[in-house]
Amino acid sequence: MNVKDKIVVITGGAKGIGKKTAEIFKDNGAEVIIVDYDKDAGLETASELNIEFIEVDVSDQNSVNNLFSEIDDKYKSVDVLINNAGTTADGFLVKMDENAWDKVIDVNLKGVFNCGKEAAKRMMDKGEGVIINTASVVGLYGNVGQTNYAASKFGVIGLTKTWSKELAPKGVRVNAVAPGFVETDMLDSVPDKILDNIRAKTPLKRLGKTEDIANAYLYLASEEASFVNGNILSVDGGLVLG
């Protein structure tokens, strides 16, 4: 996949899917900048992969503005933004408090808006660019105990569809990946019984791997996907929640 010499910004890049995405893009010749709230993990990944790390809170517009100002100064451009940062705070509707709602919406939805807005300005100015947002199988079908997460990911799908119409005339493609359940730290708190049930419901009979999602990002960012716009690419093994 052709991403050679592209300036690629990956939010939530310190661990899990983001880290694997950084590795795969670097291996394919991209100039990678990972962004994360977790400074220690970010520095560790940056050192391991020999890439740049910038500490950012994507839910804070000032923090995001500072990120893109730093990118302007050092790289003069951004070619690809992967809005991969995300969090969960699960609970049944009647037990979910406002803090749990705000935390997930702020990172998963507002964070995508904050980063997408700043990247779009720069991409429109130069007449080209790619924004890839991270939705979820939960954003397509909903899921018990994830009111806030489902709402945030439904919102990401709406942003993606809207931006793909607004930005395409300026040369900017916008798509999203909707992962299924992927083997990352985010699943550590999920009981084995539930994970076994998810495997059983998945036609491919396994959970996703970080490289499954990273390779989908790579395709959508590449020249090979130059006519793909406004798409929500499900990478979930065929899982349909219900």
Enzyme catalytic residues? 149
Cα(174)–Cα(47) distance, integer angstroms: 30
Please name the residue that has the structure tokens 């749990």.
100
How many of the other CB atoms lie within 10 Å of CB of 77?
15
Name the DSSP letter for residue 75: H
Least Cα distance to 34 among 42, 44, 23, 24 occurs for 42
Nearest C-alpha neighbor of 128 from the set 183, 98, 171, 85: 171
Closest CA to 183 of 156, 146, 214, 147: 214
Reduced to 3 states (helix: H, G, I; strand: E, B; else coil), residue 8 is strand
Where in the chain does DSSP place strands (E)?
7-11, 31-36, 52-55, 80-83, 129-134, 172-179, 232-235
Distances (CA, A) of 164 to 4, 76, 155, 231, 234: 24, 24, 14, 9, 17
d(CA 56, CA 221): 22
- DSSP code per residue over 21-48: HHHHHHHTT-EEEEEES-HHHHHHHHHH
